[in-house]
Structure 1
Amino acid sequence: MLARRAIRTRTTRCSTYSGARCLSSVAVLPDTGIQTFRERAFAPGTPALLPRKSFEGLPAVQKWFFEDSSRLALNRSYLSRYGSAVVPVEISNNEQFSRTEQSLSFFLECVNASSSSFDTRPNRYFSAYVPNARAIKRTKRSNNFFSASTLTAPTARTYLAQAPIADLPQGLRDDVPTPKLVLEAGKGDVYDSSIWLGEAPTYTPLHRDPNPNLFVQLAGTKVVRLFRPDVGRSIFAKVQESIGASASATMRGEEMMRGAEKKALEEEVWSDNDANEFRTATWEAELSAGDGLFIPKGWWHSVKGVGVGMTGSVNWWFR
């Protein structure tokens, strides 16, 4: 009977993050039942939010994060047990961007160094970007956390992005068990899955996935903007023309994360300028810890971590 309840209709609202720009809110399903999900979201290929806090019971929500002086932080004492695990880390430094494989302990060190008190020991992460750099304490008046011969403004940021759950140690895999919704709504198995950890603000540029996607927020807040396949293709084509490029929409690389393409994509997706021709075709969802969003196959989307402190997400792609 629950499956027959009407889905909460998609509404148009002026988002906190969109200024005067009115966006279409993603509808919230009335319950977490498999039949409801299949009929209202999966089968028609329509974005949908699961009822709020549907996934707050995932062990990672409680085990991986904690409140530290009103900021959400990583539980380093727990995660460091798995410090030898190799994970993909994105490092941004001004207009430079690189994606590398590092140990989880390296990533934890990076996060700690960006918010800790002065440490006399050289830090591997900061030394790679500022010779002989060490971490210093952030203050309310200053966001500086580099210390070398002279104080250097912070530029480098790390993001543990798209780390396959299958590659993680068993203990961490147990903290993010595959939801029943993913196992039963599709063909019964998972195409792939990923972990995302980083201090806000974080950013994932406009792209599309080859499979349907369940995106779950573990900690912090993220805002997702989505576009139908035809609208997303139009945005992508417009950006490519504006920068004089001809990249393939199906083969995306690091060019999305730096330079002219990154700036142009972000402007088209996140600008609140009334002249933006795609503003009426923009869908938006805001996710907090325990919230889940279904993103249909082919729908273009961009994700921003907002606020302060740590953000964490996990996603599963349906087969």
Structure 2
Amino acid sequence: MRRAGVGAGRLSARLASRYWNKRKAFCGLHQIRSVVSVPEICQPVHSVSREEFRKLAFDTCKPLVMRGDTPPGTISKWFQFDAQGRACATPYLSQFGRTSLVQYELLRDSPESVGGLEAFRSWLEAKDRELAAYIEQSEESLLHIHAPLALFLNALEYNSSSPKPVTQIYIAQVPLSELPAMLQGDLPAPEVVKSAGRGDIYNSSIWLGLEPTYTSWHRDPNPNLFSQLHSSKKVRMLPPNAGQAIFRQVQARLGRSGNAHIRGYEMMYGEEREALQEAIWSSSAPGEIQETRLDAGDSLFIPKGWWHSIKSVAGDGRLNCSVNWWFR
């Protein structure tokens, strides 16, 4: 292993300076948008005091972005990256691959995604037939499977060398409480989550996906702090009444009456997802809709009842990782 000398230290300092200058520039330029920007502060969530958080966001029920200065340390503990930014699991994370069972969403909504998943399954079958068996041969466009974390880690390995990566494998909304204790310990709740309200953390989730990832228009019954750990996501949101109006308009047009609190099939695939995506993400979206981009280290407070949709910025099969806490 090479020892880091003075040159390496200077390079590290230059990279750190470049990263922070980019973040500061982003904080300024982010306001020049065709949609309304979510209010933000150039301050990472872990350094925001309880009093400041309550004043700016929690007590006023207003969304707030807290910009991070560096990517979270959890990511370097869980993943390592090559020169092209492709991820593989570290030995630390790999030790939990077989013992941790998680819920997956596998979306096959195009010939490319179907072919990618089949190619990955064939590759995995030659390596680990037991693990490959979790990927069902099915005509369904959306598959839900309960499988070891190792399935996702193998998909990362496959994508690190495949010219046609597998995409849209998503460990979505898996409670942190279902992870091994050591992994839970790597994702402590920020102080504002523990102290801003009554101290009741209602639930928390990890989101690990191979881009593109997408969550349709919905609202949460409790305040939500959403933190981006790796790669980038865009969020669009509206306050309760305005967001409800859009949802009802789409439901009426489709002749339905859906539940916007449950991550159901309609939310993730089919004409309802497409209609909501058009209503929220197209140029015809309402002018008052608020938008932000979250990069690694950024956090977003989503007030209770605020409607929102979240999607990855990229779509080339690379790792996207987020975590959130619902609290009150």
- TM-score bucket of the superposed structures, by smaller chain: 0.7 to 0.9
Q: Secondary structure at the match of 2:92?
A: helix
User: Is residue 156–residue 319 contact of structure 2 (8 Å, CA) maintained in 1?
Assistant: no
Matches of 1:251 and 1:62 in 2, distance apart?
A: 32
- 1: CA distance between counterparts of 2:286 and 2:31? 11
- CA distance in 1 between counterparts of 2:37 and 2:86 reads 27
CA offsets 1:5-58 (integer angstroms, 9 cap, x no match): xxx99x8632xxxxxxx11111113651110100110011000011433x84x4
1:302 aligns with 2:301: no
Q: 2: distance between equivalents of 1:76 and 1:63?
A: 7
Q: Could you say which residue in structure 2 is the equivalent of 1:23?
A: 35
* Aligned residue in 1 for 2:155: 110
- SS of 2:151 mapped into structure 1: helix
Match of 1:311? 320
* 8 Å contact kept, 1:165–1:173: yes
Could you tell me how far apart the structure 2 residues matched to 1:282 and 1:231 are?
9
Question: Which among 209, 221, 224 is matched to residue 232 of structure 2?
Answer: 221
Alignment of 1:84-233 (within 5 A): 84-94=99-109, 96-113=141-158, 115-117=159-161, 137-138=162-163, 143=164, 157-233=168-244
More strand by share: 1
Counterpart of 1:247 in structure 2: which amino acid?
G
Partner SS, residue 257 of structure 2: coil
- Aligned-residue offset at 1:194: 0.4
SS of residue paired to 2:32: strand
Instruction: Tell me the C-alpha RMSD between the 2 structures.
Output: 2.3
Aligned partner letter, 1:45: C
- Whether 2:73 is the aligned partner of 1:64: answer no
SS, match of residue 226 in structure 1? strand
**Cα deviation per residue 1:98-119 (whole Å; 9 max; x = unaligned)?**
2222111122123333x144xx
5 Å-filtered alignment, 1:238-253, equals 238-253=249-264
Match for 2:74: what amino acid?
A
Q: Secondary structure, in 3 states, of the residue corresponding to 1:38?
A: helix
> Separation in 1 of the partners of 2:263 and 2:78?
30
CA distance 1:36–1:247, shift in 2 (3 Å): same
Q: Distance in 2 between matches of 1:249 and 1:217?
A: 23
Q: Secondary structure at the match of 2:276?
A: helix
2:87–2:157 Cα contact (<8 Å) kept: no
The answer to whether structure 1 residue 284 and structure 2 residue 291 are counterparts is yes
CA contact (8 A) 1:222 1:305 kept: yes
In structure 2, the CA distance between the partners of 1:250 and 1:293, relative to structure 1 (3 Å rule), is: closer
Does the 8 Å CA contact 1:226/1:301 hold for their aligned counterparts?
yes
Q: 1:279 to 1:82 in 2, by over 3 A?
A: same
Alignment deviations for residues 118-156 of structure 1 (CA, whole Å, 9 cap, x no partner): xxxxxxxxxxxxxxxxxxx31xxxx3x5xxxxxxxx6x6
The C-alpha deviation readout for 1:272-301, integer Å capped at 9, x for no partner, is: 2xxx2x431210111111111100000011
Q: Distance in 2 between matches of 1:23 and 1:65?
A: 35
Q: Share of identical aligned residues, percent?
A: 41
Between 1:213-222 and 1:100-109, the stretch displaced more is 100-109
Alpha-carbon deviation of 1:187? 0.8
- The CA distance in 2 between the partners of 1:27 and 1:72, in whole Å, is 32
Count of paired positions: 265
The answer to whether the 8 Å contact 2:89/2:153 transfers is no
Q: Please say which of residues 243-252 and 203-212 is displaced more in the overlay.
A: 243-252
Looking at structure 1, the residues matched to 42 and 90 of structure 2 have their Cα atoms a distance apart, in angstroms, of 37
1: distance between equivalents of 2:180 and 2:263?
Answer: 28
SS at match of 1:281: coil
2:236/2:291 contact within 8 Å kept: yes
- Unaligned stretches of 5+ residues in structure 2: 1-26, 110-139
Residue in structure 1 matched with residue 53 of structure 2 by the alignment: 37
Q: Which residue of 2 aligns with 1:122?
A: none
Alignment match of 1:49 (pick from 61, 65, 77): 65
With the length of structure 2 as denominator, give the TM-score of the two structures. Answer: 0.75
Contact 1:29–1:40 under 8 Å retained in 2? no
Shift in Å, 1:65? 2.9
Three-state SS of the structure 2 residue aligned to 1:246 is coil
Q: Please, what TM-score do these two structures have when normalized by structure 1? A: 0.77
The question of whether the paired residues in 2 share the 8 Å contact of 1:183 and 1:189 is answered with yes
Q: In 1, distance between residues paired with 2:245 and 2:264?
A: 19
In the alignment, which residue of structure 1 is the partner of 2:127? none
Deviations 1:187-239 (A, max 9, x none): 11311000011122111111111110000010001111111111111111111
Distance in structure 2 (CA, Å) of the matches to 1:76 and 1:26: 35
Cα contact 1:203–1:304 (8 A) shared by 2: yes
Residue 305 of structure 2: SS of its match in structure 1?
A: coil
